[in-house]
Amino acid sequence: MNILLDSTVLIDVLRSRFGRREFLASLAASGHEHSTSVINVAEIHAGMRVYERTETEELFDGLIVLDVSHEIAVRSGNLRRAWRKKGFVLALMDTLVAATALHHGFALMTDNVKHFPMEDPMEDLTLVPVPMIQ
């Protein structure tokens, strides 16, 4: 399975929280490929501490970083508009991440499931549960 990692998971990996690094390593060992969106790269760099730069770049070097194409941008806008009509105001960054996962047929791993109500038969977004390992 190909998995797109959301910022929440990447932050936990970088900060060695909740056993996320080990969990992702076990998934990779069993053949899962990990990716992230350029949107997540921007989010991580916006909150990155100066001393985390090297480790952050090493993390991104080990991932497939997916660009946002015209098609993904259109799908993101359509998702945001459709969910606004349903009464949910979703952040543009989140719909861009969801549209990237949908476009590539990847599952999305996140702790912010409320930000991604697109796990819906009509949308085909699959959310991967993230275990909390202390």
Summarised one tens digit per residue, pLDDT across range 10-40 is 998 888 887 777 877 777 777 778 899 999 9
And the tokens for 94?
Answer: 């989140």
Q: How confident is the model at residue 121 (pLDDT cuts 50, 70, 90)?
A: very low
Contact (Cβ atoms closer than 8 angstroms) between residue 128 and residue 33: no
Residue 113 has pLDDT above 80, yes or no: no
CA distance 7 to 129: 14
Residue 111 has pLDDT above 90, yes or no: no
CATH topology of domain 2-128: Rossmann fold (3.40.50)
Q: How confident is the model at residue 106 (pLDDT cuts 50, 70, 90)?
A: very high
And the tokens for 84?
Answer: 């606004």
Domain locations in the chain as residue ranges: 2-128
Contact (Cβ atoms closer than 8 angstroms) between residue 98 and residue 68: no
Q: How far is CA 89 from CA 39, 42, 103, 115, in A?
A: 18, 21, 21, 9
Q: How far is CA 56 from CA 20, 50, 134, in A?
A: 15, 10, 22
Task: Give the closest residue to 100 by CA, choosing from 21, 23, 37.
Answer: 37
pLDDT of residue 120: 55
How does pLDDT run across 45-104, given as a tens digit for each residue?
999 888 889 999 988 998 999 999 999 999 999 999 988 998 888 899 999 999 999 999
